[in-house]
Structure formats: structure tokens, C-alpha cells
Amino acid sequence: SQELEQSPQSLIVQEGKNLTINCTSSKTLYGLYWYKQKYGEGLIFLMMLQKGGEEKSHEKITAKLDEKKQQSSLHITASQPSHAGIYLCGAGLVGSQGNLIFGKGTKLSVKP
């Protein structure tokens, strides 16, 4: 079973609209990572959250980790075509050997 669930699987938004991507686990998360991947390219690190309730922002992207450290959300404000790509969350889980588990990704398309 997938230990890290991402939703939605895909998303199409009009340029300028806001959107949210979720990453959920049934287990407590350690460092929660958000990456962005463009087609044919590697994963670009966006940000990492470690503490319950933590929130970080980079330009128009904000990521939050809930107090229970089992869910994270990635919010994009006023989306632009440059935001298009696949967003993946990765996390260390309680009971794991320290390696990261990744969600299956959310494919974001932004219509100009």
C-alpha cells in the first residue's frame, strides 16, 4: 500500500488561479520534502518542513505541515505557466530506516 498519498493526481488550472496539493500519511512524518519535476528533467528541491505547524514560503509557493505531522499541503498563489510540472512529496516515516518514501506525484497544468 502507498504510505504517502498525494491528491489530486492531476490538476488543470487557469493562469492566475490559486491551487492546493495535499500529501497525507497514516504515520508520523519526519522531514517532509516538496520537489518539482519538469518533464524529462530531474527533481528540483522546493522546501523541507520538519516541525508540526511549520509553514514555509518561496515566492508564490507556500507549504505547511500540520500539527500532527501527518499531512502537508502545497499552495500556489496566482499560478503561472512556469508552475506547471509534477509536484512530489517525500518524507521519512516513523519506523523507516531513514530513507525517504515518495508520493506518486501531482501533475499540474496551467492554462495561459
Partner 1 sequence: NAGVTQTPKFRVLKTGQSMTLLCAQDMNHEYMYWYRQDPGMGLRLIHYSVGEGTTAKGEVPDGYNVSRLKKQNFLLGLESAAPSQTSVYFCASSYGVGRVETQYFGPGTRLLVL
Q: Which of 19, 23, 33, 84 binds partner 1 (CB under 8 A)?
A: 33
**Per CB under 8 A, which region of 31-39, 52-60, 65-73, 77-85 contacts partner 1?**
31-39
Cβ distance to partner 1 smaller for residue 20 or 50: 50
Distance between the two ends of the chain, CA-based, in angstroms?
A: 37
Chosen residue from 41, 73, 82, 112 binding partner 1 by CB under 8 A? 41
Find the binding residues for partner 1 in span 69-88 (CB under 8 A).
88
Specify the 3-state DSSP secondary structure of 111: strand
Size of the site for partner 1 (CB under 8 A): 24
Q: Is 18 exposed, middle or buried (0-12, 13-18, 19+ CB in 10 A)?
A: exposed
Residue 17 has phi, psi (to 5 degrees) of -85, 155
DSSP string, 1-33: --SEEEE-SEEEEETT--EEEEEEESS-EEEEE
Q: Does 95 bind partner 1 (CB under 8 A)?
A: no
Is 104 one of the binding residues for partner 1 (CB under 8 A)? yes
- Binding residues for partner 1, rule: CB under 8 A, are 2, 30-31, 33, 35, 40-45, 48, 50, 88, 90, 92, 96, 98-100, 102-105
